[in-house]
Amino acid sequence: MRLIMDKLRERPMPFAEIEQLVCKSQTNRIGNRSVQNYLAELVALGLVDYNSGTRLYGWTENRVEFRSKHDYDIALKHSKNLVLTSSERQGLDHTNPCLALDLLVFEPDRDIDYQCLVQHLQTGYFQGIYKLMERYHQLMDETGLSEIPGFPKLFSTGTSWDENSHMAGVVENISNRDFEEILANEIPTRGDMLLIDVNSAVIGSSSPNIKQVHKVKYKEIVDLRDLLVGRIYSVVNDVIQGAPLQGFCDHCPHRKITIKGK
């Protein structure tokens, strides 16, 4: 049971994944019924809940609704410290959205605030954001585009931060025609393959390191990136409008306060 508890503290999980995890960790085979009994006991204790919509089990240790304005104010202040600009640091509200996404995906440990924000995304927005961040990272690695130095790694398709509306102006799923026009101005091609020099931004580099990426695959990555930017900055906008971050992190002022997902 300790293994299940530890893993569910990290992120929500479906039954099949929990069962596989438990069975692999035991020298004697643990049956399906035993895992169900473990989970049922945790649910009965109020430590775990089951979301029938997403079919995920999630950790709910000491999860409570806000019982006072004081609790709410503490959670909101913590959320603003993680995502908004202050006199001490530049927040996501004054950062290029594509840059912000790449830093969260590729350098989540760059500082304590990024670590905490990623933990909130993992525990509070697992299906809608965190899993897509993992997919984005995977696609960038598979194509070699993660080797591009610096951030952001890909060209922009209209993503920007609108300080008046506090929303990222994202062009999601741009048309193939518009995408072709953008590519023609940004990246050399050979047939349906894009020829991307990942060393082009390296000072003093004279030998190109060309990655060939199919246009369809590249568009899939760009569309996913822009979708993620829109969703992350929707969260930023929620914080600006007074909604604390969902989920929790290692440095939440009070771990007893965990914001329930919508």
Could you read off the pLDDT of 122-143 as tens digits, one per residue?
Answer: 888 888 899 999 999 999 999 9
Written as one letter, the residue type at 174 is: I
Q: Which of the pair, 47 or 225, is modelled with greater confidence?
A: 225
Averaged over 209-237, what is the pLDDT?
Answer: 91
Three-state DSSP at 29 gives: coil
Taking the model in full, what pTM does it have?
A: 0.71
Least confident stretch, 24-33, 166-175, 207-216, 241-250: 166-175
The 10s digit of each residue's pLDDT in 231-261 is: 999 899 889 989 899 888 888 885 554 555 4
Written as one letter, the residue type at 41 is: E
Mean pLDDT, the chain, integer = 79
Tokens of 201: 């931004």
| pLDDT(111) > 50 | yes
Strand locations in 108-262, DSSP E? 161-162, 167-168, 189-190, 193-197, 210-214
**What helix, strand, coil percent values describe the chain, rounded to 5?**
50, 10, 40
Q: Which of the pair, 28 or 53, is modelled with greater confidence?
A: 53
Contact 250, 94 (CB under 8 A): no
| pLDDT class of 165 with cuts at 50, 70, 90 | very low
| pLDDT(27) > 50 | no
Q: Which pLDDT score is estimated for 206?
A: 56
